[in-house]
Amino acid sequence: MKCKFFVLISSLLLIQSALLAQGISTDAGLTPAQDRWIVRSQYRIMGMENSSMEMSTRMIPVVLGYGITPAFSIMARGMYMRKSITNNNKSQSGINDPFLLSKFRLYRKNTAKYTLGIAPYIASNVPVGDIEISSRTWNPEVGLNISFRPRFLAVDISSSYVFYDAGSKLTTENSNKYNLNMAFSGKIPLITKQILSPVLEFNYFDKGKNNNSAGAVKSLFISPGLIFMHSSLSLEALYQIPVYESDETHLMDQKSRIILGIKYMF
């Protein structure tokens, strides 16, 4: 029973932290052009372990974004997920809650030397996913993205706060979470319409304590990565390394993660 509880808590923590640590500067502070579509998919491999068990999760999120106006864009995300516990060969798979996001352009300045953009967003899951995978609660999220792009360099900061179980439907093991992502990247022009972009990301998340069960968890990932872009198509790879973890529950340790992605804009 205790083991099952540990697995449930760890599983939820793993999924939530994975979703928060988006990777590859997903939420830039620059809203897309009007009438611009963005299709994006990733393959994420992640895991947790302790002395007695190892848990791994594979995720395939598919994201569709659209610029309704230059100052307002929407995004929808669906995700297939498969969780497995290596010790006992148990696995669960299914479709996670759909996630909807709307982003607003608060400020944008374009100059010859740099571009600066600030874009807040509001978002929420829709709790209709498969029961073993999804959270079964509404978890609204607010966030702020800032992008500073001095020509061939880029700094992206994304900060968000998730209110778990906003409708207080369940007394879950979840609690509110704060997340901060910072991405630094350079752009190496190859030939016309192509760039190679080395990326270094810092992903921090802080899951507060709740009344019900699990304690506070703070973790920091440092993630080197690479993006190759040809015209409107980009391929990306990111390796997320856990460098700091403060886990009051001492359930399981985070393992390194791999994110492979593809993005197309039209």
In Å, what is the CA distance from 248 to each residue of 52, 131, 207, 251, 254?
18, 27, 11, 8, 14
136 belongs to the binding site for other proteins (CB under 8 A): no
For the purposes of burial, counting CB atoms within 10 Å of the CB of 174, is it exposed (0-12), middle (13-18) or buried (19 or more)? buried
234 belongs to the binding site for other proteins (CB under 8 A): yes
**Which of positions 63-92 make contact with other proteins (CB under 8 A)?**
67, 69-70
Query: How far does the chain reach from its first CA to its final CA, in angstroms?
Result: 50
Cβ burial 87-112 (10 Å sphere, 16+ → b, else e) = eeeeeeeeebbbbebebebeebeeee
Of the two residues 139 and 147, which places its CB atom closer to other proteins in the complex? 147
Say if residues 103 and 72 touch (Cβ distance below 8 Å): yes
Closest by CA position to 176, among listed 134, 219, 207, 140:
207
Give CA–CA dist 192/231, Å, rounded: 9
Tokens of 7: 């697995």
Instruction: Report, in Å, the least distance between residue 215 CB and other proteins.
Output: 32
Q: Which residues contact 110 (CB under 8 A, 6 or more apart)?
A: none
Q: Which of 52, 111, 168, 211 binds other proteins (CB under 8 A)?
A: 111
Of the two residues 12 and 265, which places its CB atom closer to other proteins in the complex? 265
213 belongs to the binding site for other proteins (CB under 8 A): no
Give CA–CA dist 105/114, Å, rounded: 17
Binding pattern for the stretch 158-187 against other proteins, x by CB under 8 A and - elsewhere: -----------------------------x
245 belongs to the binding site for other proteins (CB under 8 A): no
Instruction: Report, in Å, the least distance between residue 140 CB and other proteins.
Output: 27
E strand intervals along 208-248: 217-230, 233-247
Of the two residues 135 and 240, which places its CB atom closer to other proteins in the complex? 240
189 belongs to the binding site for other proteins (CB under 8 A): yes
Number of residues counted as binding other proteins (CB under 8 A): 43
260 belongs to the binding site for other proteins (CB under 8 A): yes
Q: Which of 15, 30, 123, 220 binds other proteins (CB under 8 A)?
A: 30
Instruction: Report, in Å, the least distance between residue 251 CB and other proteins.
Output: 25
Q: List residues near other proteins by CB under 8 A.
A: 30-36, 67, 69-70, 105, 108, 110-112, 115, 149, 151, 154, 187, 189-196, 226, 228-235, 237, 239, 258, 260, 265-266
